[in-house]
Structure 1
Amino acid sequence: MTQCPYHNLGPLPEFFAPGGPDEDDVRQIVTPTGDKMWLVRDYALGRLVLADKRFSRTAAVRPGAPTFNDAQPVPESMMSRDGKEHARLRKTVAGHFTARRMAAMAPRVERLTDRYLDRLESAGPGADLMEGLADPLPLDVLCQLLGVPLEDGATFRDWVEVLFDISASSPQEKGRKRLELSAYMADLLAEKRSAPQDDLLTSLIQAQDRGELTPGELITLGLTLLMAGYETTVGQIATSAHVLLSEPGAYRELVDHPDRVDAAVEELMRVSPTTPLSFSRVAVEPVRLGSVLVQAGDGVMVSLLNGNRDGKVYPEPEYLAPESRDNVHLTFGHGLHRCLGAPLARLQLQIVFGRLVRRFPHLRFADVPEPAVWKDGMGTRGLSRLLVDW
């Protein structure tokens, strides 16, 4: 499945631009907040930063720490903890994302996917793949997993878009939405406490009753699971579809060989990750990264996008070549903070593209001036519109 190189990554800051062979693997950047941070663009050094205890997430959310933007997890979040505190919170939910649990989820995801593809087909050629599939599916899947009423999905989606928007919404507006989300989750948890169900939120309530979570951690963890798994999966479905539709030969190959979808999904996530940057870390002691000596207190971020396209690790990295890629991509991160929901995201992508190539073998961009419109100013990459014909 080696096709033409894919370069259209949408609106990105200049520091993501690929450099020559002598380009620094670690460079200093000025973030949108005006802080200076180190950006790691090398695959091996990126894995080191993501897994090394000398680079702290907890230190990165303390007052005065250098920041990249204001779309960051709160200090109480599992994603903002280190060591034993992170492990304690992760343990309460890790069992819900095992291979066995994902296999049990697959029929539900398949039914939901088929339902949205039926609606897409009914809408007819020229339909929006974002509105018809990529936007609603991940939220429905998460709502079913956690036990969130589906009718609350539209309101939740509006809240989350404000929190992930790093340019249009003010810090005050983000603060209001966080309070509204927290109040909503507190009310929902109270309802489930009085009427337990077979879902993840009920399981978290039981963990709190056993003393494994504080009341505040219960609310934050529920919101973290819902928010972190929504916007990123929406974006990854969108960017992966954009790659395939930009390279019709790649889509055609999956139509002819649907058994290659799972391998292709990994390569699509590598070549066009929806999350281009890791959350920031702060060095707790001096650490040498390549030619740079990072000092204690310095902020460090990993460019997952550049690491995934590191020519030292992936020959001809801009090409789709799932049959010849052995190294694990960085799209889900690495180390203890590796994305907990990776199995669920991977399951959705495999089902979505497995179903798409069977149902719509001639899928292509709609013949309009601008069928694909990229989102701008978001904490994750994605599309706001993707018009298709078949």
Structure 2
Amino acid sequence: MSDYVLGRRVLSDRRFSRAAAVVPGAPRLNSAAPSPTSIMSLDGTDHARLRRIVAAAFTTGKVAALAPLVQRTAADLLEGMSHCGSPADLVTSFAEPLPVAVLGTLLGVPVEDREIFDSSVEVLFDITASSDLEKSRQRLLLVDYMSTLIDRKRQRDDNDLLTDLIRAHDGDALSKAELVSLGLALLTAGYETTVGQISLAALAILQGGVPREFVKDESRVNELVEELLRANPSTALSFPRVALEDVELGDISIRAGEAVVVSLLHGNRDDRAFTEPEILREDRSAAHLTFGHGIHRCLGAPLARLQVRTALLQLFAFFPALRLTEDEPTARSAVVWKDGLITRGLDSLRVTW
């Protein structure tokens, strides 16, 4: 589904079920799918219950309180890039470690454990990047680690989101399976998509698609970030939804049991909703679909916006002459795209200054 209006309808219409899309035998677009117990796979009261438990961590006030952490982490990473010298890979030096640090602090993942996720979180979005056996192994590794971390944190009284979820479980608000899958969903979904969004936004600016003065003006950068999120979403497709009954979508008849996938990328570029969609403009009124719509709209959207905004402001302030390296016949290209994932992003982005 690539129509903006119809896409919003599918994402918010409860006749299209996420839970029905993860049962055995359901129609599938590819092998990328969250656990059936994940908040991303539930409907109705079960989804609402989990969402209420987590939502308090992503209020405007809570996210604003994380701003100093994001700013400090970004500054430290840029100092490290400068110390190592030019050229550098912006993905591995900046776009990846920033969300790892922020999400790790929010959830309470020890610094020494974060490498585990850096090598395994892509499994949620993996289509062909690895074999089915390897994907199963990575999933089991993550589940085992999260279960172990929960057991360790029970012996402490930390001030983090995972500890709050443990308390919710102890109060019978969450099952053990829900606790583990919720912790993993928050970390994996918030990591890979934000890494992709930071690298895609930086690439658009480095390729000249955005005037540099926009990213230096704090009064305009919020609108710029929204347009970068719209035009270049790291999440191009929604997870499938299965029709619970026959539904008419425009001139298409969807039968009960059939699956629908919304192209968030194409919806964001539908010229019936966005005038001159290929141009980044500051006067858009329609809301983009990058974070979804309806009950499954991304809870972490405010935190993702904060990280992208901070990353761009600090990156181009620290390196005002930042540019892509020149491609060489015997060297790696400056821009290398990730392959085999349902998300969009860069494997490397080589820059100099």
- Give 3-state SS (helix, strand or coil) of 2:248's partner: strand
Shift of 1:135: 1.0
1:110 aligns with 2:99: no
Counterpart of 1:135 (choices 96, 100, 110) is 96
Deviations 1:107-152 (A, max 9, x none): 0111000000111122222111111100111011100000001111
Is the CA contact (8 Å cut-off) linking 2:215 and 2:221 kept in structure 1?
no
Please say which of residues 218-227 and 357-366 is displaced more in the overlay: 357-366
CA contact (8 A) 2:215 2:224 kept: no
Query: What amino acid is the match of 2:268?
Result: N
**What are the equivalent positions in structure 2 for 1:138-157 lying under 5 Å apart?**
138-157=99-118
Deviations 1:95-116 (A, max 9, x none): 0000000111110111000000
Structure 1: stretches of 5+ with no match in the other structure:
1-39
Aligned to 2:287: 328
Structure 1 vs Structure 2 CA RMSD: 1.2
Distance 2:216 2:177 in 1: 51
Contact 1:163 1:177 in 2 (8 A): no
One-letter amino acid of the counterpart of residue 382, structure 1? G
With structure 2 as the length reference, what TM-score do the two structures score? 0.96
Greater mean deviation of Cα atoms: 354-363 or 187-196: 354-363
Over residues 318-348 of structure 1, what are the superposed CA-to-partner deviations in whole Å (9 max), with x where a residue is unaligned? 1111x22111110000000000111111110
**Identical pairs, percent:** 53
Residue from 336, 339, 346 that aligns with 1:376: 339
Q: CA deviation at 1:162?
A: 4.1
Greater Cα shift, 119-128 or 228-237: 119-128
Q: Distance in 2 between matches of 1:272 and 1:161?
A: 19
Q: TM-score, normalised by structure 1?
A: 0.87
**Deviation of 1:254 (Å):** 2.1
Deviation of the 1:235 alpha carbon: 0.5
Partner deviation per Cα, 1:67-112 (whole Å, 9 max, x = no partner): 1111101111111000111000111110000000011111011100
User: Which residue of structure 2 lines up, in the alignment, with residue 359 of structure 1?
Assistant: 318
Aligned to 2:137: 176
CA distance in 1, matches of 2:145, 2:321: 43
Q: State which of 308, 313, 319 in structure 2 corresponds to 1:349.
A: 308
Structure 2 gaps of 5+ residues are: none
The corresponding residue for 2:349 is: 386
How far apart, CA to CA, are the structure 2 residues paired with 1:332 and 1:172?
Answer: 30
> Quick check: 1:254–1:357 contact (8 Å CA) kept in 2?
no
What is the identity, as a one-letter code, of the residue corresponding to 1:373? V
1:255 Cα deviation after fit:
4.9
Q: How far did residue 46 of structure 1 move?
A: 0.4
Q: Which moved more, 1:162-171 or 1:339-348?
A: 162-171
Q: How does 1:120-131 map to 2 (within 5 A)?
A: 120-131=81-92
Other-structure match for 1:306: 266
Question: How far did 1:357 drift?
Answer: 2.4
Secondary structure, aligned partner of 1:259:
coil
Distance (whole Å) between structure 1 residues aligned to residue 28 and residue 284 of structure 2: 34
CA displacement at 1:258 relative to structure 2: 3.7
Shift of 1:253: 2.2
2: CA distance between counterparts of 1:173 and 1:124?
Answer: 36
Per the alignment, residue 220 of structure 2 pairs with 260
Q: Between Structure 1 and Structure 2, how many residues are aligned?
A: 349
Residue identity in the other structure for 1:333: G
- Displacement after TM superposition at 1:163 (Å): 4.3
Alignment of 1:73-88 (within 5 A): 73-88=34-49
Per the TM alignment, residue 356 of structure 1 is displaced from its structure 2 partner at its CA by 1.6
Instruction: Give the distance between the partners of 1:149 and 1:126, measured in 2 at CA.
Output: 30
How far apart are residue 168 of structure 1 and its match? 2.9
